[in-house]
Structure 1
Amino acid sequence: MKFNFKNRVRNFKFSSSDVFVPLHEAIMNSIQAIEERGNFNDSQIKIKIERDSYRIAGFTSGIFSIEITDNGIGFVSHNYESFCTSDSDYKVEIGGKGVGRINWLKAFEVAYISSVFEEDNKRYQRLFSFNIEEEIHDEKLTEVLNDTPIETKIILYNLNQEYRGATEISLKEIAGKIIEHFASYFVIGAMPKVILEDENEQIDVNELFVKEKFIETKNEIVTSNNVTFNLRHVFLNASINAKHKIYICAQNRVVCSYDLVNVDDLPTTFNINGKKAIYQCYVHGEFLDNDVNSERTYFSNVIFEEEDDNDRPHFELAINLYQVVYSQIHQFLQTYLEPMRDTRDNQINDYIENYCPQYKYLTKYAKEDLQSISYAVASNPEKLISELNKLNNKLNNKHNIQITKAIQDNDSDSAKNKLLDLTTQVVENLHSQFTNYLQKRNSTIEMLEKLINLKTTTDEIINKFFLVDEGLSSDNTNTWLIDERLAYHFENINSDKETNFYAYYNDHSNELICIDFEKFDYAKYKKSQDLLPRLEEKANGLEMNNAFVTKYLIVFNLENINLELAHKNNIHILTYHELVQIAKQKYEDLLK
């Protein structure tokens, strides 16, 4: 060959994820050879997979070699000359990069080529081998009988052991990779007949595409600049990393392709008949067939660009399909997008209503932001709560900035109007936060009730439920279930785990709240009568500058409790069950 071939191959990037690229390159060569010969109607590409000789029952062996046979034009003189030149320019004009055969040798030890072709009304067979060390060698050119079938066979032999693990997949999965790579060819009917086989089965890849990849289609006619174009809307089974696309076609070939971007609420995939699908739009027509250049790489009088007034002079002499195509796409996809939008919106609203009422005001003041949440996020509670939290912070920051500016506004009328406008939003935000607070209160009450019914030990209820952790101030505990004031900050000034006596003090209001929890052994051995004097003694032992003192005794039941003495000493007696019932009633009252 005509350059340092070994270095070229050595420096060529290739990994196990590229293991099927050599096959794709060989198929692409076959398609181009068939197009060049012009025998599409009776064309065929046959692919034979030879598996590794190492066999394990129930295990799919990796690929050893691949044989690709087509009835295209073959290795006529100019094609052979192109093959002998690395990075050849011969196929650049039809989308070729001239490096496909280098992919072959990155993956396989050698390629064997046999090609019967016709030149000057005679038929020849060209044989040669291709590897890294000897490059193109053992070339033989012989004349054959004119009735010898025109056919080219390429054998990619002895796949590198490094990549064989990535090929331990079924024949159907290999067919799926071919379909994924050449999806546009299958859709527009430009794919020759492809037969894939190994020693166990044979697959008609074209039929497999129709049965399993192709989901739904619709054809329509549009007009731009008094010229008619055909649009084909297609849904295909989604594969990994597949994208929604627009293809502009001519003469049964994709000439230009674009990612679909200018569609609001476009999901990553659609759900069509229970299948994940991608959308593709194919534009074709007689005008495009006539306007494309001979290599089918660009159009002379057709463009696909988003218009801008400043660009208008550039567009004057061309037909711009952008607006008309996107208009039809929007119209077609509405049928599929509207139910998805409704489902997404319902998921978000239901989640806010049932699990995050503190964000309810977002449905009114951040409606557009909520509608920008993707379908995938809306159906994932963890991701949704994170997104709602971001929107909540964003709106709160916005309100805080607006309120600060309004307060600092020296124009009294302006400040008044701004503050009045913000009042409703702030009140609704507070109401949402309060609703969330009530729900959390109710959840806490239900937790206590369940713990009691589960016969949880006294120490567990006191230390892990009520107090949460040792030494915490009251606002970090669940003691508010006993006295609502403890939802605010009261310092813990006494924690006696031995007797379960706890005291909380607020120096601003000079209030002292004492709580004594009855231990299980007191109830069991009928020592409850000892609790009242003990509580009185401990409370009196706290010198708190004439603080207003409230005392609570929490018991399992009222048996052996001297209620008269409790009343005399202003001690509130509550059972655990009473705590639950009183808290439930407060929750109902607050809801009113």
Structure 2
Amino acid sequence: MSNVNIKRLVENIRSGTNSYTPLVELVVNGIQAVEQRGAGDGLVEIDVLRNGQPDLTDRLEEVDGFVVKDNGVGFTKRNRDAFDTLYTDLKAADGGKGFGRFTCLKYFERVKVKSTFAEDGSFFDRSFRMGLGNEIVVDEKVAASDATDTGSEVEISGIKSVKFPDKGLDVISRVVVERLLPYFVDKERVCPRIVIRDHRSTTPIALNDYLARDNTQIIELAVENPTFSFPSTDGDRTFHVRVFKFFAPRASKSKVALVAHRREVTENPLQTYIPEFAEEFFEPSPDQGDAKGRNFVIKAYVFGDYLNENVSLERGEFRFQSDSDLLNGISQTQIEQRAAEIAQSAVGAEISERRLRKDARIAKYVETQAPWHRILSKEVDFSGLPMSPSHQEIEIFLQKKKYEREVSTRTRVSAILNADEGDDLGDQINSVIASISETSKSDLIHYVSMRRCVLDLFGKALELGPDGKYRSEGEVHDIIFPRRADSDGLDYNDHNLWMLDERLNFASYVISDKPTEASSLDRTDVTVFNRPVVFRAENEPSNPVTIFEFKKPQRDDFVNPSSKEDPVNQIVRYVNLIRNGKVRNSKGREIRVSATTPFYGYIVCDLTPKVNEWLEFEQNFTPMADGMGWFDWRKNIHLYMEVISWDKLLRDAEMRNKVFFHKLGID
């Protein structure tokens, strides 16, 4: 008589099991019962129990449970007493934990047992069910039997909470075969015949036939070096790998499975370790070639005493850690990584072909989209990327490698600076300088490539829109420098002032279309206070001030006498505001100027006939030699002004950068 709090015990079953676990447990018990009997005609049968209405899609009812029958030795008193004992050691020699039957109650409401056994030359029937309170065996009945053979029948039914994951008989068969494949391929112990059926099918499926010659769906692949070892706290531990092809796969993922006592315990995708396993493989037909063939996946099974010794009570996981295991010395990740490499050797040609395709994809991205990574891409290992990486995945991977290299370089520089001088100091410095140079080349290529993109966008912005109108000055303005922003709130990479003048990349303070203490009407589009960053100088009166004013492409109404948007007058007025100390920076400090502070004013607009006439006859500007702009010098306020066209702005920027674009092959 047992006294176990079965409800609490079942509730405390840890993760790692699933609704297939009880079925596998019962099939294994059936196999062991047949082996115990020692007959040569062993048979294990699985009946699928269904419940509810058929699904409108596949016309199948949901799975409610299973009945597993065997012609083994039956529930003798010894076997019955072991069933009634928590953690029995009856099957310890075969890896039994004395606990597996309790997983049935985790997923199913009912467990019923009927068995015929032999004793002293007579046959007896035994029946009982598994209790849900404190008794493991309840409602037991034993009586003489008219049967002429032994065997058992165990029913699990009333699936709990969630639906069984599969309904089709072929799918369920495939899962059971995968979980119990070590039994089917064991060369030292013959597996009994195992069949599965349900009430809808008159023809059962024989699981052994998955490996039969006339219906081969699983084939073992030859592996040159199937064993590997790892050192552990109690000496070297050896593992053995067997690799199989699974045709017509239930799922399109290749797996690595760790096995304990001939039962699959865990499985994980091989692509976790080798991305090229992400897709199915294809085997062409011997007669019709690629026109006809079969898809297959790879599954690598790992065996070893270390796995047998460390499997959990529920057989859903192992007692060692997944990643690093200081206690045992060997982790699951280590084992699976080596097994994946062995599986790769079994299909090496296809993996190599897939890697070539991946390398070509990466090379094309770098060549056409990210030339700044050319040097780095030749030096890094891309094996960790997915089989068909997206552009984003490639870029993120390269950026990570670039950052790692920069950190390494900074660490080396710090070590050199903190170390005592030695004979090899020169060599160390040269090595670090070379590393810095390569990184700088990549950054320069990236920077120049971005300039090409900016100029292309700017050229597009100067064209007529779908509505037949030109873009506003705001849109083209934002490409050069964001409106209503200043350099205190922007990174130097967030503007493209180099389009106007390369020197403006080093401006220390910028106001863009942002009101100051002066009237909102008295504001220019971009005001730049130049100060060489390298000297970190203060706000010195001798530093020049540069002012820009943008006008919408093809707009020329600002030259009308009634217009309040005369850009020449606006720049002159703004210069006088600055000279009179009425403009302050974002921190409230006055912009310091002197009587001789130089000012530069630039107006960017389209030079229509009306604008040209206005500049020549009303503003008294002088034409530039190329005919695409005008200039003037207001010596009393030390202001030099230019009026240039949008086309000139774009053309000059392209000319200044053309040689760089040409060197990169992006012109």
**For residues 422-454 of structure 1, what are the alpha-carbon distances to aligned partners after superposition, in whole Å with 9 as ceiling and x for unaligned?**
333322221111001011111222222333444
Unaligned segments of structure 2, at least 5 residues: 228-239, 283-294, 309-337, 515-519, 533-541, 580-592, 622-629, 634-639
Whether contact under 8 Å (1:518, 1:531) holds in the other structure is no
- Matches of residues 231-270 of structure 1 in structure 2 within 5 Å? 233-236=243-246, 243-244=255-256, 254=262, 266-267=274-275, 269=277
Aligned to 2:611, the other structure's residue is in SS state: coil
Matched, 1:534 2:584: no
Matched, 1:450 2:460: yes
Cα separation, 1, equivalents of 2:556 and 2:81: 101
> 1:218 is matched by which residue type in structure 2?
L
Change (3 A) 1:18 1:527: same
Whether contact under 8 Å (1:104, 1:111) holds in the other structure is yes
Partner of 1:502: 526
Aligned to 1:182, the other structure's residue is in SS state: helix
Partner of 2:141: 140
Change (3 A) 1:484 1:186: farther
Hey, which of these two has a bigger chunk of helix by percent? 1
Partner of residue 426 from structure 1, selected from 436, 461, 464: 436
Matched, 1:49 2:67: no
Change (3 A) 1:325 1:127: closer
Cα separation, 1, equivalents of 2:646 and 2:204: 72
Whether contact under 8 Å (1:270, 1:276) holds in the other structure is no
Partner of 2:222: 219
Aligned to 1:129, the other structure's residue is in SS state: strand
Change (3 A) 1:238 1:449: farther
Matched, 1:516 2:553: no
- Matches of residues 43-442 of structure 1 in structure 2 within 5 Å? 43-53=42-52, 57-58=56-57, 61-133=61-133, 135-145=136-146, 148-160=148-160, 162-163=161-162, 165-167=163-165, 169-188=167-186, 191-201=191-201, 204=205, 206=207, 209=210, 217-219=220-222, 233-236=243-246, 243-244=255-256, 254=262, 266-267=274-275, 269=277, 271=279, 273=281, 277-280=297-300, 332=346, 334-363=348-377, 367=379, 370-371=380-381, 373-376=383-386, 379-406=389-416, 411=421, 414-442=424-452
**For residues 104-123 of structure 1, what are the alpha-carbon distances to aligned partners after superposition, in whole Å with 9 as ceiling and x for unaligned?**
23333332222234444444
Unaligned segments of structure 1, at least 5 residues: 225-229, 293-323
Identical residues among aligned pairs (%): 18
Aligned to 1:65, the other structure's residue is in SS state: strand
**For residues 115-153 of structure 1, what are the alpha-carbon distances to aligned partners after superposition, in whole Å with 9 as ceiling and x for unaligned?**
23444444433233333246424433344446x454422
> 1:35 is matched by which residue type in structure 2?
E
Partner of 1:32: 32
> 1:128 is matched by which residue type in structure 2?
F
Partner of 1:318: none
**TM-score for both structures, normalised by structure 1:** 0.75
Partner of 2:600: 550
Aligned to 1:371, the other structure's residue is in SS state: coil
Cα separation, 2, equivalents of 1:231 and 1:471: 64
Partner of 2:509: 491
Aligned to 2:175, the other structure's residue is in SS state: helix
Cα separation, 2, equivalents of 1:127 and 1:257: 31
Cα separation, 2, equivalents of 1:142 and 1:378: 65
> 1:523 is matched by which residue type in structure 2?
D
Partner of 1:303: none
Partner of 1:227: none
**For residues 298-343 of structure 1, what are the alpha-carbon distances to aligned partners after superposition, in whole Å with 9 as ceiling and x for unaligned?**
xxxxxxxxxxxxxxxxxxxxxxxxxx99998786464455445544
Cα separation, 2, equivalents of 1:412 and 1:243: 53
Aligned to 2:486, the other structure's residue is in SS state: coil
Partner of 1:302: none
Aligned to 2:2, the other structure's residue is in SS state: coil
Aligned to 1:45, the other structure's residue is in SS state: strand
Q: 1:581, CA displacement in angstroms?
A: 3.5
Q: 1:216, CA displacement in angstroms?
A: 5.1
Partner of 1:584: 654
Partner of 2:318: none
Partner of 1:298: none
Choose 565-574 or 326-335, whichever is displaced more: 326-335
> 1:554 is matched by which residue type in structure 2?
V
Whether contact under 8 Å (1:117, 1:123) holds in the other structure is yes
Q: 1:268, CA displacement in angstroms?
A: 8.0
Whether contact under 8 Å (1:60, 1:168) holds in the other structure is no
Partner of 1:311: none
Change (3 A) 1:458 1:120: same
Cα separation, 1, equivalents of 2:528 and 2:157: 83
**TM-score for both structures, normalised by structure 2:** 0.67
Q: CA RMSD in A?
A: 4.6
Cα separation, 2, equivalents of 1:205 and 1:539: 92
> 1:551 is matched by which residue type in structure 2?
G
> 2:529 is matched by which residue type in structure 1?
Y
Cα separation, 2, equivalents of 1:470 and 1:119: 96
Whether contact under 8 Å (1:33, 1:73) holds in the other structure is yes
Cα separation, 2, equivalents of 1:461 and 1:43: 82
Whether contact under 8 Å (2:51, 2:63) holds in the other structure is yes
**For residues 554-585 of structure 1, what are the alpha-carbon distances to aligned partners after superposition, in whole Å with 9 as ceiling and x for unaligned?**
21453322264233445433333443333333
Q: 1:34, CA displacement in angstroms?
A: 2.1
Cα separation, 2, equivalents of 1:77 and 1:108: 26
Cα separation, 1, equivalents of 2:2 and 2:150: 29
Cα separation, 2, equivalents of 1:8 and 1:436: 62
Change (3 A) 1:446 1:519: closer
Cα separation, 2, equivalents of 1:434 and 1:579: 23
> 2:281 is matched by which residue type in structure 1?
N
Change (3 A) 1:101 1:241: farther
Whether contact under 8 Å (2:109, 2:157) holds in the other structure is yes
> 2:643 is matched by which residue type in structure 1?
I
Cα separation, 1, equivalents of 2:436 and 2:429: 10
Whether contact under 8 Å (2:184, 2:208) holds in the other structure is no
Q: How many residues end up aligned between the 2 structures?
A: 538
Aligned to 2:3, the other structure's residue is in SS state: coil
